[in-house]
Amino acid sequence: MKIPSVNTRHLLKVTDFSSEEIINLFSLAQSLKKAQKKGKKHHLLKGKVLGMIFEKSSTRTRVSFETGIYHLGGTGLFLGKNDLQIGRGEPISDTAAVLSRYLDGIMIRTFEHSKAEDFAKYGSIPVINGLTDDYHPCQALTDYFTMFEKLSKFKGTKLAYIGDGNNMAHSLMLCGAMLGVSVSIASPADYAPNKEITDEARSIAARNGSEIVITESIDEAAKNADVLYTDVWASMGQEDEAEKRAKSFDGYCISMDLIKRNAPEAYVMHCLPAHRGEEITAEVLDSDHSIIFDEAENRLHVQKAIMTVLMNSR
């Protein structure tokens, strides 16, 4: 199995890879997926150890990374927020330096994006962003891998995201722009995506023949979309805003009516966990439009490819 090379040591956001590297990564993920389905061993990281730092809890991120490194012949070491000395005053620079002497790679799921950047800056091993407040690159890469499985193309396609202009919206815009996919984001004005990241995505999209649209109208965003996408209204760490957000996002829901009005052939995605009846109806989530569980499975295969290309050279 050929392992593609990349000109980056870390994956902190999707733009750390080039467009060509993303396509090559998807090819590797497809090969790894086929190998697993056929029961073929693919120990491309035999003897390697991945440290998994979780300051935010997770179902899919932990299970997919831990299972993935196992499939690749390595070991995953779970490090919860109470397992490290960072919370007791040890600087990230010291922690990163020490962990680099023990591990072959770090996956971090945290709040401030600067923490992931600091681990990459002060450590000497690859760092993979498993989620920060600003970006969720592993999920976005998985989403476009899944989209390609269903549509067999990127150019000329459209993804519509409905909901909070959060880390998912940011990563979907950037990755879509790199692949030539047009991305429309529908959010209340006070919850629109970060302007600087939006401008970056628009600049990339202009070079690749696609566009980035920001609107408050869910119908405008969803019109003629190939994929409809949503996320929870209040992410982890925003629990105290849940009531306020519920009022602001009222109506920002992927329903069967929305699909019928604007994109009757569209696939539907959600990064999960889903709040049925809020950002998506149960009818849609359980319908033939939904590829949500295919998407969830593909986290495993895409992240295996990410670990392989970043950790193989160490």
Which tens digits make up the pLDDT trace of 215-257? 999 999 999 999 999 999 987 667 777 889 999 999 999 999 9
Fold exhibited by the domain 14-135+297-311: Rossmann fold (3.40.50)
| Residue carrying structure tokens 């970056």 | 200
Q: Which two tokens stand for residue 311?
A: 């950790």
Share of the chain above pLDDT 90, in %: 91
Residue range(s) of every CATH 3.40.50.1370 domain in the chain: 14-135+297-311, 137-295
303 has catalytic annotation: no
Spatial separation of the C-alpha atoms in residues 198 and 194, rounded to whole Å: 6
Number of CB atoms found within 10 A of residue 9's CB: 15
Can you give the pLDDT at residue 306?
A: 98
pLDDT tens per residue across all 314 residues of the chain: 889 999 999 999 999 999 999 999 999 999 999 999 999 999 999 999 999 999 988 999 999 999 999 999 999 999 988 888 776 778 999 999 999 999 999 999 999 999 999 999 999 999 999 999 999 999 999 999 999 999 999 999 999 999 999 999 999 999 999 999 999 999 999 999 999 999 999 999 999 999 999 999 999 999 999 999 999 998 766 777 788 999 999 999 999 999 999 999 999 999 999 999 999 999 999 999 999 999 999 999 999 999 999 998 65
Q: What pLDDT score was predicted for residue 83?
A: 84
Instruction: Kindly name the residue from 138, 175, 253, 271 that is annotated as catalytic.
Output: 271
- Which residue of the set 10, 139, 164, 289 is catalytic? 139
Out of 109, 245, 270, 289, the active site residue is: 109
Active-site position among 62, 270, 289, 299:
299
> Within 10 Å of residue 30's Cβ, how many Cβ atoms?
17
Q: Is 36 a catalytic residue?
A: no
Is 139 tagged catalytic? yes
Give residue 87's pLDDT. Answer: 64
Annotation says 231 is catalytic: yes
Q: Where are the beta strands (DSSP E) in the chain?
A: 49-54, 75-80, 105-109, 127-131, 158-162, 182-186, 212-215, 227-230, 267-270
Which residue among 118, 134, 143, 231 is the active-site one? 231
Task: Please indicate whether residue 245 is annotated as part of the active site.
Answer: no
Q: What pLDDT is recorded for position 314?
A: 52
Closest CA to 67 of 307, 252, 250, 261: 307
Active site residue 271: yes
**Span 65-112, pLDDT tens digits:** 999 999 999 999 999 888 887 767 789 999 999 999 999 999 999 999
> How does 198-208 read in b/e, with b if 16+ C-beta sit within 10 Å?
bebbbebbeeb
Task: Fold for 137-295, please state it.
Answer: Rossmann fold (3.40.50)
Active-site choice (136, 245, 270, 289):
136
